[in-house]
């Protein structure tokens, strides 16, 4: 008995002499309660945020399946009395949504391609080479992120209409100018994003390509650009989404093609879907057009969400 007691005394002395303060049961309990309260508030916030995001989308989709009288009579109801799928066909044909989609795809094909090409080339040169004025040029590009496009509306409008550049296969010159304006508008963020990504790539690979006799151009297109594929996919999706949803620039720069469906882009076309038969408002056709305009954006994000997440975190993990 005395031996066991002495062992316990020695264990207690060793514990007290180790300098580790014992954790009180009340403090541990308070910490657990605080963590649970924080987690509870976080989950409530996420649920509220999800409802705020999903409900408007669901409301637009269900309104596209109603007729005009039901849209006006029961605007907040999510369940239509009868499904009117013909609204989508009417919006596509009578509302000229097919022409709007084609024009938008042509504009995006030119603007996104040029933005990705010029932005990645400029970001690579600024990130991998040291020369006089490097930081100045980089910060000049970044200054474009601080300028709201609305402040440049007047000089941009005058510049576009005084230039009069024409581009083949895209109809009137306003499409070509819209492509160039989209490129200038998206270039700052593209260079900022890709500059950070190129700086995370190892120098040894570029040096090995140079030792093998590859030129700077060959090294960029054959070695460094494929390695930056996650970043290219991420910034490419951002550019597609931003330019697809752009409304202000087409409305500002393509005023002369208003009322001409064969030349309008999706942002302009959706406005005219609301009033396409004189004084009769086609609200169901408008909601159907908005639903079809949302589908490409949702599909692109759902398909490439893993690539977007990997591209955003690749630079952090290296």
Q: Which of 64, 62, 61 is nearest to 78 (CA)?
A: 62
Please tell me the distance from the alpha carbon of residue 105 to that of residue 227, in angstroms, as a whole number: 27
Please tell me the distance from the alpha carbon of residue 282 to that of residue 276, in angstroms, as a whole number: 7
The residue whose two tokens read 């097919």 is: 98
Residues in Cβ contact with 65 at an 8 Å cutoff, skipping those fewer than 6 apart: 80, 83, 84, 85, 87
Q: Is the pLDDT of residue 306 over 60?
A: yes
The beta strands (E) that lie in the chain are given as 275-277, 280-281
CA 157 to mean position of chain CA atoms: 26
For 34, counting Cβ atoms within 10 Å of its Cβ (0-12 exposed, 13-18 middle, 19+ buried), the class is exposed
Model pLDDT, residue 112: 93
Contact 107, 175 (CB under 8 A): yes
pLDDT in tens, 246-258: 888 888 877 655 5
Residue 169 zone, left/alpha/beta (φ > 0; ψ -120 to 50; rest): left
Contact 217, 139 (CB under 8 A): no
Q: Predicted confidence band at 226 (pLDDT cuts at 50, 70, 90)?
A: confident
Reading the block at residue 225, the tokens are: 């650009």
DSSP bridge pairs for 277 = 280
Q: Which of 40, 39, 186 is nearest to 110 (CA)?
A: 186
Domain ranges of the chain: 93-317
Model pLDDT, residue 14: 47
Query: What average pLDDT does the chain have?
Result: 78
pLDDT in tens, 255-271: 655 555 667 788 777 77
Q: Is the pLDDT of residue 6 over 60?
A: no
pLDDT in tens, 167-186: 443 444 567 888 888 998 89
pLDDT in tens, 69-89: 888 888 777 888 888 888 888
Model pLDDT, residue 204: 85
Q: Predicted confidence band at 111 (pLDDT cuts at 50, 70, 90)?
A: very high
Model pLDDT, residue 84: 86
Model pLDDT, residue 113: 93
Q: Does domain 93-317 have CATH number 1.10.3720.10?
A: yes
Q: H helices then E strands: how many in the chain? A: 15, 2
What percentage of the chain carries pLDDT values higher than 90? 13
Model pLDDT, residue 9: 52
Model pLDDT, residue 124: 92
Q: Is the pLDDT of residue 116 over 90?
A: yes
Helix (H) or strand (E) holding 188: helix 173-199
pLDDT in tens, 184-224: 889 999 999 999 888 888 888 888 888 888 888 888 888 88
Please tell me the distance from the alpha carbon of residue 301 to that of residue 163, in angstroms, as a whole number: 36
Residues in Cβ contact with 98 at an 8 Å cutoff, skipping those fewer than 6 apart: 92
Model pLDDT, residue 318: 46
Q: Predicted confidence band at 146 (pLDDT cuts at 50, 70, 90)?
A: confident
CA 223 to mean position of chain CA atoms: 27
Q: Which of 106, 102, 117 is nearest to 167 (CA)?
A: 106
């Amino acid at each position: 008995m005395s031996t066991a007691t002495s062992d316990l005394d020695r264990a207690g002395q060793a514990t007290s002499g180790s300098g580790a303060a014992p954790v009180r049961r009340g403090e541990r309990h308070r910490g657990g309660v605080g963590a649970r309260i924080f987690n509870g508030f976080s989950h409530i916030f996420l649920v509220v945020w999800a409802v705020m995001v999903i409900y408007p989308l669901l409301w637009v989709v269900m309104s596209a399946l109603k007729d005009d009288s039901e849209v006006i009579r029961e605007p907040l109801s999510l369940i239509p009395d009868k499904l009117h799928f013909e609204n989508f066909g009417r919006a596509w044909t009578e509302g000229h949504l097919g022409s709007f989609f084609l024009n938008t795809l042509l504009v995006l094909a030119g603007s996104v391609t040029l933005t990705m090409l010029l932005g990645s080339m400029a970001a690579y040169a600024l990130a991998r080479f040291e020369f006089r004025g490097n930081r100045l040029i980089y910060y000049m590009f970044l200054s474009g992120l601080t300028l709201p496009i609305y402040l440049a509306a007047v000089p941009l409008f005058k510049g576009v209409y005084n230039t009069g550049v024409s581009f083949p296969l895209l109809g009137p010159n306003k499409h070509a100018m819209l492509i160039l304006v989209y490129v200038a508008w998206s270039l700052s963020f593209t260079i900022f994003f890709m500059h950070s990504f190129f700086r995370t790539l190892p120098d040894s690979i570029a040096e090995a390509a140079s030792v093998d006799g590859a030129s700077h151009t060959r090294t960029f297109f054959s070695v460094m650009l494929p390695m930056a594929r996650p970043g290219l996919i991420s910034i490419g999706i951002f550019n597609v989404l931003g330019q697809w949803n752009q409304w202000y620039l087409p409305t500002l720069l393509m005023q002369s093609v208003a009322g001409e469906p064969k030349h309008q882009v999706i942002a302009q076309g959706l406005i005219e879907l609301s009033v396409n038969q004189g004084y009769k408002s086609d609200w169901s056709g408008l909601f159907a057009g908005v639903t079809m305009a949302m589908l490409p954006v949702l599909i692109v994000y759902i398909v490439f969400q893993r690539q977007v997440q990997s591209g955003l975190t690749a630079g952090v993990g290296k």
